[in-house]
Amino acid sequence: MELNVDILTLFPEMFDIFNYSIIGRAIENKIIDINTHNIRDYSVNKHKKTDDYPYGGGQGMVMTVQPLVDAIEGVKKNNEGKVIFLGPRGKKFDQEMAKDLSKEKNLIFVCGHYEGIDERVYNYIDLEISLGDFVLTGGEMACIPIVDSIARLIPGVLKVAESYEDESFYNGVLEYPQYTRPECFRDDVVPEILLSGHHENIRKWRRKKSLILTKTRRPDMFKKISLSKEDKKLLMENK
């Protein structure tokens, strides 16, 4: 097993999505293992409650400390990986973080809900990640794409034809335009260079298009690129 993931959640059924497509195949092939744990199972409350009103007043409910901490400690008996909480205080998730986390053998994700978690739970968390500056219904909504982006970087998860190395963000640039059959659709034709069979010219065209797309669509990303002599030459050709 290359990667073992445990997910603490109030809604385990939401993660059935991992039983399909590329990730489902990786699970079948025992490359990765994804297990969910219902936080309610760890609650000592007779009604299995996991939330309560916040001290000091305020809107909404807060996830209580006992079931969360007991769930974390219970899972850590078999998983010594980092405990990751999906929350707004965390570092914003990106491809570099996905690469770093894909090198881990074990990971534990904690999905919050309601108005947040009891502050004391943070004593048991190693890393907090935010998907972005917007509000989601719960941590599950952030956990799914994060686990997916990490898992697809594990060796053997993707077939050669599905290689991630040319995908957007992997090398710091957006992916170049892609075309497939038919060659002509409503007078809109595939660029001639892609039909030439000249691999070096195709490579340069794709790199040039990636740079141009990144510069125009994501200037924030473009500023971080260390341009090679070839990159600068390709961009000059566009002027």
Q: Residue 3, annotated ligand binder? A: no
Q: Residue 69, annotated ligand binder? A: no
Contact (CB, 8 A) for 67 and 50: yes
Q: Residue 174, annotated ligand binder? A: no
- Burial of 85-116, coded b for 16+ CB within 10 Å and e otherwise, reads bbbeebeebebebbeebbeeebbbbbbbbeeb
Give 168-214 as a 3 state SS string. Answer: CCCCCCCCCCCCCCCCEECCEECCHHHHCCCHHHHHHHHHHHHHHHH
Q: Residue 83, annotated ligand binder? A: no
User: CA 51, CA 116: separation in Å to the nearest integer?
Assistant: 10
Encoded amino acid at 153, one letter: L
Q: Residue 134, annotated ligand binder? A: yes
Q: Residue 160, annotated ligand binder? A: no
Beta strands 82-92 and 32-38 are: unpaired
Q: Residue 101, annotated ligand binder? A: no
User: CA 26, CA 178: separation in Å to the nearest integer?
Assistant: 26
User: CA 165, CA 175: separation in Å to the nearest integer?
Assistant: 10
DSSP 8-class letter at 37: E
Nearest CA-CA partner of 157 in 33, 37, 16, 12:
33
Binding-site residues, please?
112, 131-136
Binding-site residues for S-adenosyl-L-methionine, please?
112, 131-136
